[in-house]
């Protein structure tokens, strides 16, 4: 059980052209990491707007995921990547199909982020509502992933696949110490 949670930092989009929000210089003084926040995207694409996650600026195909996506109260799909990818792609950000769209909530837990003897695993949960796009209406995305690298995580990048984060999209990073 977590005994102490410490705020490490925040990444917030301040303008209309922010495509990547980054946490850098993550100290290796904690046992686990936690990211919580909400994001909104300025894209008007009629498709799922994804949030990509990378560790330590690694885009070399070291990521593997499995996740379940529900939309409109029914199962939209469950996925297990058949191969490694250059990032973890999460259906976790709302778009601006109209002014009623709301930001997507996001939670990511990364246990043992600094232990070099293990590949890093993590878990996420994301949810959003969208009044105009059937593929995003009341969407929930829950998943787990592995990073095939045993380096300690010192940087986390959150990126939009389409468009940019709208101003005010904001994520907080916390360190968790276990005793």
- Residue 23 pairs in a beta bridge with 156
What is the rounded distance in angstroms from the CA atom of residue 11 to the CA atom of residue 137? 26
Using alpha carbons only, give the angle 171, 36, 153 rounded to the nearest 5 degrees.
80
Q: Give residue-wise pLDDT tens across range 74-100.
A: 655 666 665 678 888 876 676 655 444
> What average pLDDT does this structure show over 144-171?
89
Q: What is the pTM of this model?
A: 0.85
Asked if the model's pLDDT at residue 46 lies above 80, the reply is no
Here the tokens at position 167 are 């101003």
Structural domain boundaries of the chain? 2-17+30-121+136-149+158-178
What is the rounded distance in angstroms from the CA atom of residue 102 to the CA atom of residue 94? 6
**Ranges of H-type helices in the chain:** none
Strand order in the sheet with 2-12: 2-12, 170-178, 32-39, 104-111, 120-128, 139-147, 63-71, 74-80
CB 145 within 8 A of CB 122: yes
Q: What percent of the chain has pLDDT over 70?
A: 73
**What is residue 17's predicted lDDT score, i.e. its pLDDT?**
84
**Mean predicted lDDT score pLDDT of the chain:** 80
Give buried/exposed letters for 118-127 (b at 16+ CB in 10 A, else e): eebebebbbb
């Amino acid at each position: 059980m977590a005994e102490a949670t410490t705020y490490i930092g925040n990444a917030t989009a301040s303008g209309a052209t922010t495509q990547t929000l980054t946490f850098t210089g993550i100290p290796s003084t904690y046992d686990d990491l936690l990211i919580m926040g909400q994001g909104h995207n300025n894209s008007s694409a009629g498709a799922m707007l994804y949030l990509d996650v990378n560790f330590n600026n690694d885009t070399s195909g070291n990521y593997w995921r499995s996740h379940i996506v529900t939309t409109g109260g029914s199962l939209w799909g469950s996925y297990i990547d058949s191969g490694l990818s250059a990032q973890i792609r999460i259906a976790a950000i709302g778009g601006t199909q109209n002014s009623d769209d709301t930001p997507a909530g996001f939670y990511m837990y990364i246990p043992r982020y600094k232990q070099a003897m293990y590949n890093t695993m993590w878990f996420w949960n994301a949810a959003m509502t969208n009044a105009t796009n059937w593929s995003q209406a009341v969407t929930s995305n829950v998943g787990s992933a592995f990073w095939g690298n045993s380096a300690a995580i010192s940087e986390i990048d959150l990126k939009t696949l389409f468009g940019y984060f709208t101003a005010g999209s904001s994520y907080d990073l916390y360190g968790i110490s276990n005793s």
